[in-house]
Amino acid sequence: MCGIVGAIAGRDVVPVLIEGLKRLEYRGYDSAGIAVVVDGAVRRVRRTGRVSEMEAAARAEHLSAPLGIGHTRWATHGGVTEGNAHPHISHDSLALVHNGIIENHEAQRERLTKLGYVFESQTDTEVIAHLIHHHQSQGLDLLAALQASVRELDGAYAIAVIDKGEPDRMVVARMGCPLLVGLGDGENFVASDVSAIVQATRRVIFLEEGDTAVLTRDGVQVYGDDGQLVARAEHLSDVSLASLELGPYRHFMQKEIHEQPRALADTMEAIIDAGAFEPALFGKEAEGLLREVDGVQILACGTSYYAGAVARYWIEAIAGLPCTVEIASEYRYRKAVANPRHLIVTISQSGETLDTMEALKYAKSLGHDKTLSICNVPESAIPRASRLVFYTRAGAEIGVASTKAFTTQLVGLFALTATLAKLNGRLDAETEAGYIEALRRLPVSVQHALNLEPQIAVWSEKFTPKQHALFLGRGVHYPIALEGALKLKEISYIHAEAYPAGELKHGPLALVDADMPVVVIAPKDSLLEKVKSNMQEVRARGGELFVFTDADSNFGESEGVHVIRTPRHVGVLSPIVHTIPVQLLAYHTALARGTDVDKPRNLAKSVTVE
């Protein structure tokens, strides 16, 4: 996690750094800092708390310079203190920001301490600053010192360094964490993500693993891991400023919930245009590769894992292929039995979640070479490491709690299911046409579900004072119950758990009393009658039920049973529509509890540590 930004220009870069850090805050938000080189000296401002607090301090100090770096932190090594905030400085001459984790920092710290370096923080990062300084003291210039230092580091890093002795350049390095260079006119930039610099330029170079680079005002040179100059392609980013701004909304989460009809329509555009499920949706070599697949193994974390849990129901029922879904951090450390004919599907909004990336690498090491990534961030690490890719087109997702990424992932996974079914001869033309039509109608059904917001806001008042909540679902809607509980706990801090409704009687029923609201996802599918019986079990123990069901299902309100009706049952895509109300319930409950909806405590959006 952590976000880094840097700029070298003919103008004052401090406003660029601060705006960039505000856009990177989703990557971590417990402290922030900037360092600049000006008038032959390094100056630094750091603060715990949000970027806005550091900004006020930088203003008070009238910080202004043509060369600088900035960082927003999510603490790993060392607590949330100003002393642990980046940038870190060595000998008052060089300043450095870092995203990632240095695994051999203890050994390096010991070595550097023996060489006389005095450490001021508990971070792994400070080691890098002193290591570079040490190499400089051996006669190397800043670039050579950085290159020599990274050769001695184990772990993951994106690094940007400035030095008062070399005021006309910045040096950077990348291994295992994202870093891109932005190309301006007489000015150049570096950032963890394009959103940080899009106000200045859209021309970007994605650095590759092992790259180092030098940025001056007039140019950028990139060196490969062998130290030789390399040419890296320039891309034009299509991230829009509007997608990064709040507009009329109160929170990014609210904006992103309401963007879902558009995000879904954009994600399925190619499918609707083709009027068919074509393997080419997943890449050039998809047809040959998917034909050979006789099972699917899904790997992901967090909300993306729940998308995979929905897909498991679809893939087994529709494509007739065995499918397992596993939390990436578990898979990567167990002795898994590989079946190379199984397709490894990684799902990741950010494309950089470390556990998911490492699970993918582990799967490959076990002999899996059929890999597909479902991802929202083009050119990010996980899709780049996969042979096939489906990009969700949700647009930038900034709220830490994932919303539109989840529903668009489900569209990608449904398209995969239908494509595999077709290749297996299990999808006749009529069913395919029916699925395409269901997709076409989906944005409208989702909009109808969004229109339930006022009713859901009223319900949220009942949840606001509670300490606990239970979510129930069955079948393909069980993962939606899981997602509803995750949303509620992460942004409102109410303890919430989800159970398959049939499992209630095996334990969680003991928790049910009048203080435990029970949310039930109860669409009009073949399991509705079973779910109703489970609801009776709750009612009989005095539990209060909050039921989301379809407009055309046959049950109404009664004492202790509140009902909100989503649109008419949409068939196989029902989990997507039923996600909307649980998102809105969590959002309004958090709003009423006054939490920081977009930046919940202790969390970060992009988790690039174990």
Helix extents (H) in 292-403: 302-314, 328-331, 354-365, 381-384
The sheet carrying 212-215 orders its strands as 88-90, 94-102, 155-163, 170-175, 212-215, 220-223, 229-230
Gap between the Cα atoms of 145 and 341, Å rounded: 46
What is the per-residue burial (b if ≥16 Cβ within 10 Å, else e) of 393-404? bbbbbbbbbbbb
Work out which of 1, 301, 343, 354 binds ligand G6P, going by CB under 6 A: 301
Burial (CB < 10 A; 0-12, 13-18, 19+), residue 22, is: buried
The DSSP 8-state label assigned to residue 421 in this structure reads H
Nearest residue to ligand G6P, scored by beta-carbon proximity: 302
**Chain CA centroid to CA 260, Å:** 17
The sheet carrying 388-391 orders its strands as 323-327, 295-300, 342-348, 371-375, 388-391
Burial (CB < 10 A; 0-12, 13-18, 19+), residue 435, is: buried
Gap between the Cα atoms of 342 and 296, Å rounded: 5
- Is 2 part of the annotated catalytic residue set? yes
- Is 177 part of the annotated catalytic residue set? no
Work out which of 3, 20, 66, 302 binds ligand G6P, going by CB under 6 A: 302
CB of 351 to ligand G6P, least distance (A): 7
Q: Is residue 182 within 8 Å of residue 356, measured between CB atoms?
A: no
Q: Residue 323: what are its φ and ψ, rounded to 5°?
A: -140, 130
Q: Hunting for tokens 């130290």 — which residue is that?
A: 227
CB of 377 to ligand G6P, least distance (A): 8
How many chain residues interact with ligand G6P (CB under 6 A)? 15
Q: 422, 524, 599, 605: which is the annotated catalytic residue?
A: 605
CB of 402 to ligand G6P, least distance (A): 4
CB of 158 to ligand G6P, least distance (A): 17
Contact pattern for ligand G6P over residues 154 through 193, marking x by CB under 6 A: ----------------------------------------
Q: Which two tokens stand for residue 607?
A: 């988790």
CB of 602 to ligand G6P, least distance (A): 10
CB of 448 to ligand G6P, least distance (A): 25
Under the binding rule (CB under 6 A), the answer on residue 303 touching ligand G6P is yes
Work out which of 9, 153, 263, 400 binds ligand G6P, going by CB under 6 A: 400
Scanning 60-68, 224-232, 269-277, 349-357 for contacts with ligand G6P by CB under 6 A, the matching segment is 349-357
CB of 304 to ligand G6P, least distance (A): 4
Nearer to ligand G6P among residue 399 and residue 523 (C-beta): 399
Under the binding rule (CB under 6 A), the answer on residue 1 touching ligand G6P is no
Scanning 56-64, 166-174, 296-304, 332-340 for contacts with ligand G6P by CB under 6 A, the matching segment is 296-304
Scanning 243-251, 271-279, 397-405, 467-475 for contacts with ligand G6P by CB under 6 A, the matching segment is 397-405
Nearer to ligand G6P among residue 94 and residue 257 (C-beta): 257
Scanning 38-46, 239-247, 302-310, 431-439 for contacts with ligand G6P by CB under 6 A, the matching segment is 302-310
Under the binding rule (CB under 6 A), the answer on residue 349 touching ligand G6P is yes
The DSSP 8-state label assigned to residue 176 in this structure reads B
The DSSP 8-state label assigned to residue 317 in this structure reads I
Under the binding rule (CB under 6 A), the answer on residue 492 touching ligand G6P is no
Q: Is residue 126 within 8 Å of residue 94, measured between CB atoms?
A: no
Gap between the Cα atoms of 272 and 442, Å rounded: 12
Nearer to ligand G6P among residue 136 and residue 392 (C-beta): 392
Q: 2, 301, 323, 375: which is the annotated catalytic residue?
A: 2
> Which of 272, 261, 260 is closest to 436 using CA atoms?
272
Any bridge partners for residue 496, and if so which? 469
Gap between the Cα atoms of 391 and 371, Å rounded: 14
CB of 427 to ligand G6P, least distance (A): 28
Q: Residue 366: what are its φ and ψ, rounded to 5°?
A: -85, 0
Gap between the Cα atoms of 191 and 115, Å rounded: 32
What value, to the nearest 5°, has the Cα angle with vertex 507 and ends 503 and 508?
80
CB of 255 to ligand G6P, least distance (A): 16
Q: Which two tokens stand for residue 402?
A: 């994932």
Angstrom distances, CA of residue 222 to CA of 150, 180, 410, 590: 15, 11, 38, 46
Under the binding rule (CB under 6 A), the answer on residue 413 touching ligand G6P is no
The DSSP 8-state label assigned to residue 217 in this structure reads S
The DSSP 8-state label assigned to residue 319 in this structure reads I
Nearer to ligand G6P among residue 160 and residue 607 (C-beta): 607
Work out which of 304, 408, 460, 553 binds ligand G6P, going by CB under 6 A: 304
> Which of 470, 435, 485, 460 is closest to 309 using CA atoms?
485
Scanning 28-36, 59-67, 77-85, 345-353 for contacts with ligand G6P by CB under 6 A, the matching segment is 345-353
Work out which of 254, 402, 460, 549 binds ligand G6P, going by CB under 6 A: 402
Under the binding rule (CB under 6 A), the answer on residue 348 touching ligand G6P is yes
Work out which of 93, 353, 373, 553 binds ligand G6P, going by CB under 6 A: 353
Under the binding rule (CB under 6 A), the answer on residue 48 touching ligand G6P is no
Gap between the Cα atoms of 427 and 421, Å rounded: 5
Work out which of 299, 423, 519, 607 binds ligand G6P, going by CB under 6 A: 607
Scanning 67-75, 146-154, 343-351, 541-549 for contacts with ligand G6P by CB under 6 A, the matching segment is 343-351
Scanning 36-44, 189-197, 263-271, 399-407 for contacts with ligand G6P by CB under 6 A, the matching segment is 399-407
Under the binding rule (CB under 6 A), the answer on residue 603 touching ligand G6P is yes
Under the binding rule (CB under 6 A), the answer on residue 605 touching ligand G6P is yes
Work out which of 350, 460, 492, 553 binds ligand G6P, going by CB under 6 A: 350
Scanning 2-10, 157-165, 300-308, 437-445 for contacts with ligand G6P by CB under 6 A, the matching segment is 300-308
CB of 492 to ligand G6P, least distance (A): 15
* Residues involved in catalysis: 2, 605
Q: Which residues bind ligand G6P (CB under 6 A)?
A: 301-304, 348-350, 353, 356, 400-402, 603, 605, 607
